[in-house]
């Protein structure tokens, strides 16, 4: 309607002035309801053509959409394992900081595993003490075995000398030689036992203790998992958990955590596919939201999704008929406030209306631009003002449409 009124001032109104003052025709006499088409046919035709051209130019080079939402992502409050709730620390709609405990599951099994791991560490320490005590006893055994070995050697040497004088029997000397071999084996056995104890003290028992400590750390981790904490700073929503409830990581979440800045930094808009060649990163945009009426929020296009979601295909056991994708999808565009805090007062999830404006400043600054293109680009930039005025009219009428004309 606004475009029609504007175009009529450039076509119908001058045509009427010509008929009135150049041809002397008056409204109600020569120009009536029945003759208006014949008398003002050139102005009416030019008005319709200009209006259609203007609307097409405005909506193509300065696209608009009502598919705009302050989309935000929530965080599901889930434990890492299934269990029964033992204690709840927060309430519904409560603000929490990152790391704040939310609830605790029954941890009797995890506490038992942790105590078992601690006992194994104590066993490893006790085994270390016993091995060190045995090592001290082995040193005495070594000295005893070496002494017995040396006694046998001395007696053998003495009787070997007596054997040359036939003072002792040869059988006695042979017995002493066998005794020396036996005492030597006892010394080697005790030395081997000492080496075994040293290996246990230096390698085996520390490894067993390290394994027990790792099991304790794992048990502590499992115990810590029974206390579910907030992953981010935000507000707890739909949190009606009570002691005795059973929560499941796959089927039954405990609630939802809305991050503090969720939906307050970006608007997600769906523009028509025909604007795919016009929408560019860095374009200036404006938005007005139901959650913040009578306000125009300066925005900037930060990202244009290079695919249209309606055409996505996932493998299944059925062939997909292209007819099922007949509904055209929208071009997803991300808008961020041009100034810091632009969306602070807009509730996350609000529905909005957004305009994006084509800017030809760089093209107009080209010294080699032709006159025709220069004029066309000036017209394109100028008609953006019409769309900006329409958005402000929509911002003014939006509360009326929502509260009165919608019937709610």
Is residue 272 located within the same domain as residue 335? yes
Residue 365 has pLDDT above 70, yes or no: yes
- Tokens 């709840």 correspond to what residue? 88
The mean per-residue pLDDT over the stretch 378-389 comes to: 84
How would residue 76 be classed by pLDDT, with cut points 50, 70 and 90?
A: confident
Phi, psi (rounded to 5 degrees) for 243: -55, 135
pLDDT tens-place string over residues 27-52: 767 777 777 776 777 877 888 888 88
Please tell me which of 3-7, 117-121, 170-174, 250-254 the model is most confident about, judged by mean pLDDT: 117-121
Is residue 252 located within the same domain as residue 179? no
- Tokens 């007062």 correspond to what residue? 345
Separation CA 57–CA 327 (nearest Å): 25
Range of weakest confidence among 101-110, 142-151, 226-235, 375-384? 142-151
Give the model's pLDDT for residue 354.
93
- In terms of pLDDT, which residue wins out, 26 or 121? 121
Residue 375 has pLDDT above 80, yes or no: yes
Give the model's pLDDT for residue 244.
84
pLDDT tens-place string over residues 316-344: 777 877 777 777 888 999 999 988 888 88
Give the model's pLDDT for residue 154.
62
Separation CA 126–CA 9 (nearest Å): 102
Is residue 30 located within the same domain as residue 163? no
Give the model's pLDDT for residue 12.
72
- Tokens 């939802």 correspond to what residue? 256
Could you tell me where the DSSP H helices lie in 248-370? 361-364
Residue 193 has pLDDT above 80, yes or no: no
Is residue 310 located within the same domain as residue 381? yes
Residue 88 has pLDDT above 70, yes or no: yes
Do the Cβ atoms of 274 and 331 come closer than 8 Å?
Answer: no
- Name every residue whose Cβ is closer than 8 Å to that of residue 194 and which is 6 or more positions away in sequence: 135, 138, 139, 142
Provide the mean pLDDT of the chain: 81
Give the model's pLDDT for residue 1.
66
Domain with 305 in it = 63-72+263-314+326-403
CATH number of the domain where residue 88 is located: 2.40.50.100
Is residue 176 located within the same domain as residue 130? yes
Could you give the percent of the chain with pLDDT greater than 70? 87
Is residue 127 a part of any domain in this protein?
Answer: yes
CATH number of the domain where residue 117 is located: 1.10.287
Residue 380 has pLDDT above 60, yes or no: yes
The mean per-residue pLDDT over the stretch 59-86 comes to: 86
Is residue 321 a part of any domain in this protein?
Answer: no
What's the DSSP call for residue 317? S
pLDDT tens-place string over residues 131-187: 778 777 776 766 766 676 667 666 666 656 655 655 556 666 566 667 767 767 776
Is residue 379 a part of any domain in this protein?
Answer: yes
Is residue 101 located within the same domain as residue 239? yes
68: helix, strand or coil? strand
Is residue 197 located within the same domain as residue 232? no
315: helix, strand or coil? coil
Number of domains the chain contains: 4
- DSSP for 337-393, written as a single string: ESSTTTTTTSPTT-EEEEEEE---HHHHT-TT--HHHHHHHHHHHHHHHHHHHHHHH
CATH number of the domain where residue 387 is located: 2.40.30.170
What's the DSSP call for residue 77? E
Is residue 85 a part of any domain in this protein?
Answer: yes
- In terms of pLDDT, which residue wins out, 128 or 288? 288
Nearest residue to 211 via CA among 110, 123, 108: 123
Is residue 95 located within the same domain as residue 235? yes
Residue 379 gets the label, from left (phi > 0), alpha (psi -120 to 50) or beta, of: alpha
Give the model's pLDDT for residue 297.
92
Range of weakest confidence among 56-60, 163-167, 353-357? 163-167
Give the model's pLDDT for residue 368.
86
Given 209, 225, 241, which residue is the final one in a domain?
225
The mean per-residue pLDDT over the stretch 53-81 comes to: 86
Nearest residue to 183 via CA among 139, 140, 141: 141
Is residue 246 a part of any domain in this protein?
Answer: yes
Nearest residue to 36 via CA among 46, 49, 26: 26
Which two three-digit tokens encode residue 2? 């606004």
Separation CA 378–CA 375 (nearest Å): 5
Is residue 355 located within the same domain as residue 275? yes
Is residue 91 a part of any domain in this protein?
Answer: yes
Is residue 171 a part of any domain in this protein?
Answer: yes
Is residue 249 located within the same domain as residue 158? no
Is residue 6 located within the same domain as residue 38? yes
Residue 355 has pLDDT above 80, yes or no: yes
pLDDT tens-place string over residues 272-309: 888 888 888 989 999 999 888 889 999 999 999 888 88
Range of weakest confidence among 81-90, 118-127, 193-202, 383-392? 193-202
Do the Cβ atoms of 95 and 234 come closer than 8 Å?
Answer: yes
Is residue 268 located within the same domain as residue 384? yes
The mean per-residue pLDDT over the stretch 85-102 comes to: 87
Is residue 319 a part of any domain in this protein?
Answer: no
Give the model's pLDDT for residue 174.
61
183: helix, strand or coil? helix
Do the Cβ atoms of 393 and 294 come closer than 8 Å?
Answer: no
């Amino acid at each position: 309607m606004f475009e029609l009124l504007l175009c009529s001032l450039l076509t119908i109104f001058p045509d009427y002035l010509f008929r009135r003052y150049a041809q002397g025709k008056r409204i109600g006499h020569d120009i009536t309801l029945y003759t208006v088409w014949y008398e003002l046919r050139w102005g009416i035709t030019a008005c319709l053509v200009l209006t259609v051209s203007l609307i097409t130019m405005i909506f193509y080079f300065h696209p608009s959409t009502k598919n705009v939402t302050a989309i935000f992502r929530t965080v599901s409050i889930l434990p890492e394992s299934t269990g029964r709730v033992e204690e709840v620390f927060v309430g519904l709609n409560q603000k929490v900081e990152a790391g704040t405990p939310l609830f605790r599951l029954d941890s009797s099994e995890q506490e038992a595993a942790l105590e078992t791991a601690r006992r194994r560490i104590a066993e490893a320490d006790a085994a270390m003490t016993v091995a060190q005590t045995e090592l001290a006893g082995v040193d005495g055994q070594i000295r005893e075995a070496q002494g017995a070995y040396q006694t046998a050697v001395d007696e053998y040497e003495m009787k070997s000398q007596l054997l040359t004088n036939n003072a002792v029997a040869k059988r006695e000397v042979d017995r002493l030689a066998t005794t020396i071999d036996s005492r030597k084996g006892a010394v080697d056995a005790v030395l081997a036992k000492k080496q075994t104890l040293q290996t246990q003290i230096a390698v085996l028992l520390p490894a067993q203790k390290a394994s027990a400590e790792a099991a304790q750390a794992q048990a502590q981790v499992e115990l810590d998992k029974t206390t579910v904490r907030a992953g981010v700073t935000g507000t707890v929503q739909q949190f009606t958990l009570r002691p005795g409830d059973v929560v499941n990581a796959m089927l039954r979440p405990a609630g939802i955590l809305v991050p503090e800045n969720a939906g307050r930094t970006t608007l997600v808009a769906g523009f028509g596919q025909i604007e795919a060649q016009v929408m560019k990163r860095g374009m200036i945009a404006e938005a007005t939201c139901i959650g913040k009426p009578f306000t125009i929020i300066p925005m900037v296009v930060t990202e244009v999704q290079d695919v249209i979601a309606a055409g996505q295909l996932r493998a299944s056991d059925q062939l997909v008929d292209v007819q099922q994708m007949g509904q055209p999808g929208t071009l997803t565009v991300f808008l961020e406030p041009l100034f810091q805090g632009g969306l602070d007062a807009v509730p996350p999830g609000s529905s909005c209306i957004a305009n994006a404006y084509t800017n030809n400043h760089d093209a107009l600054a080209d010294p080699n631009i032709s006159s025709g293109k220069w004029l066309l680009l000036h017209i394109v930039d100028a008609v953006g003002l019409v769309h900006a005025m329409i958005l402000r009219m929509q911002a003014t009428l939006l509360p009326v449409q929502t509260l009165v004309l919608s019937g709610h």
